[in-house]
Amino acid sequence: MAYYLQRTLTAPSFEAAVRQIKEALAAEGFGILCEIDVAAILKAKTGALFRPYRILGACHPHYAEQALEAEPMIGVMLPCNVVVQQRGEVIEAAAVDPVATMSQVKNPALDPLAAAVRKHLRRALKAAASAKTARSIEAGGTSASNKPQDIHETLRAFEKRLDAVIYQLQVAGLLSPPKARDVMPSSLDHLGELEREMIALKTIIPQLITFFDRSQAENSANGRFGQQSSGE
């Protein structure tokens, strides 16, 4: 039996994808008890560069209370972890399958609760996967992608990717070397990561160009550029 449920997400940035899954979980009654930025922690603790990887601790209070009543130690399996990660150009979300995990407890009272939670998690993943964020930056048109927070997240993603590329180039010896404490054992190990970061940047840059081109066109149509009106 698989131990997780998984879907691929479509979003203009990793942070936008995280926001999509949070909104979908909230719609199904889940609260986020904790959020772990694995990439940031690894970089701070070991200096390692890891792909965007976020762990969300999701809890459905209604079912959590019943589960704790039925099995006092079930807390070791709570909350339900949901992972959002980016591998190359693909952003995917996965949630633990509570039926698979709680079946190990051998407590029949947990079976209907696990099944209900799995149903809600599946619906949340499906909703996040089908979310339009609404027609990403690449698609054009007036959509949620035009909202300041979405553009901000895209710019943040670009900044993070650019930092990662600079770091990889430093380690590979193509730029001034990083601080000694950041140097990894082998620069060759970073060439594959550098390639992945460059590919990711390649997808983000056209999104930004498209947004700014469209914004300028829209502003021009509204009379904000070009000749001033006679009333000005």
Kindly state the tokens that stand for 43.
Answer: 């970089």
Partner residues linked to 31 by β-bridges: 59
Crossing angle of the two packed helices 111-130 and 14-27, in degrees rounded to 10: 140
pLDDT given at position 181: 40
* Cα–Cα distance for residue pair 155/166, rounded to 1 Å: 16
In this predicted structure, what is the pLDDT of residue 131? Answer: 80
Structure tokens at 173: 């010896």
Distance in angstroms (rounded) separating the CA atoms of residues 94 and 106: 24
Cα 73 from Cα 101, distance rounded (Å): 13
- Cα–Cα distance, 2 to 57 (Å, whole number): 19
User: What is the residue-wise DSSP string for 158-181?
Assistant: HHHHHHHHHHHHHHTTSSS---GG
What one-character DSSP code corresponds to residue 229? P
Q: How far apart are CA 145 and CA 136, in angstroms?
A: 5
**CA 101/CA 99 separation, integer angstroms:** 6
In tens digits, the chain (232 residues) has pLDDT values of 689 999 999 998 999 999 999 999 999 999 999 999 999 999 999 999 999 999 999 999 999 999 999 999 999 999 999 999 999 889 999 999 999 999 999 999 999 999 999 999 999 999 999 885 433 433 333 343 445 556 666 666 676 667 767 766 666 666 665 554 444 444 445 556 666 666 666 666 666 666 666 666 666 666 544 444 444 3
> pTM surpassing 0.85?
no
How many whole angstroms from its chain centre is CA 224? 35
pLDDT at 33: 95
The single-letter DSSP state of residue 134 is T
Q: What is the pLDDT of residue 12?
A: 87
